[in-house]
Amino acid sequence: MNKEELKEKYGKKRVPHQWRGTDFISAQICTFFGSGMSPKAPGTMGSLAAAIVAYPMALLFSKCPCLDISIPLGNLTINFAFLAAALIVFFAAIPFVKKAMNDTQTEDPGWIVIDEVCGIFMTFAFVSSSALLAAPWLLAIGFGLFRFFDILKPLGIHKFEAFPGAWGVMADDLLGGVYAGILMGVIAAITF
């Protein structure tokens, strides 16, 4: 066999990925800096990356009193820094998600994981930064709760996917984050 025949028979075939069909900035934002490029479970990888990033964010928020604004609401706590982060990601990502979907001619592809990032940040908006720092295992609980709501889409979450275009991609995860966050807040209230 010559070199070309060997390459064709045993060579690793390069499978084009859809995210290559959009510009670099949109790809980086939509895949949350590559975590959505995982060939297996990109949504889980994007959620995991966001949960990992949430810890240094909580550390930063706790060090800056102007950012660490948590208000008790009954037994729950609203962490305005994570709430703001979730809403900023939500609205800032819409044009990039829209462009990426238009460029690649896809509807809510798995490699777009910025919606999972938004949902994870919303999950932690119901827990104070000090609670996340005191009990880092809450990050794992929040990750698991969010993935539950993101995958199964109970309690009307699936209806939010029907919103047009990028709004539907982002909105269902934001609502999933709200539900996961309420449960996180209850767990944190019981723990602390």
Kindly report, residue by residue over 27-70, the tens digit of the pLDDT: 999 999 999 888 888 999 999 999 999 999 999 998 887 777 77
Distance from C-alpha of 167 to C-alpha of 98, rounded to nearest angstrom: 9
Amino acid 6: pLDDT:
54
Number of domains the chain contains: 1
Residue 85 lies in a domain: yes
Category of 70 on φ-ψ map: left (φ > 0), alpha (ψ -120 to 50) or beta: beta
Find the domain containing 51 and state its range: 19-191
Residue 24 lies in a domain: yes
Amino acid 10: pLDDT:
53
Q: Please state whether the predicted TM-score (pTM) of the whole model is above 0.75.
A: yes
- Residue-wise over 42-57: b if at least 16 C-beta within 10 A, else e? bbbbbbbbbbebbbeb
Residue 30 lies in a domain: yes
Residue 130 lies in a domain: yes
Nearest alpha carbon to residue 120 among 159, 188, 170: 170
Residue 148 lies in a domain: yes
Segments of the chain with pLDDT less than 70: 1-3, 5-16, 18-19
Residue 10 lies in a domain: no
DSSP letter (8 states) at residue 70: E
Structural tokens at position 81: 């820094």
Residue 4 lies in a domain: no
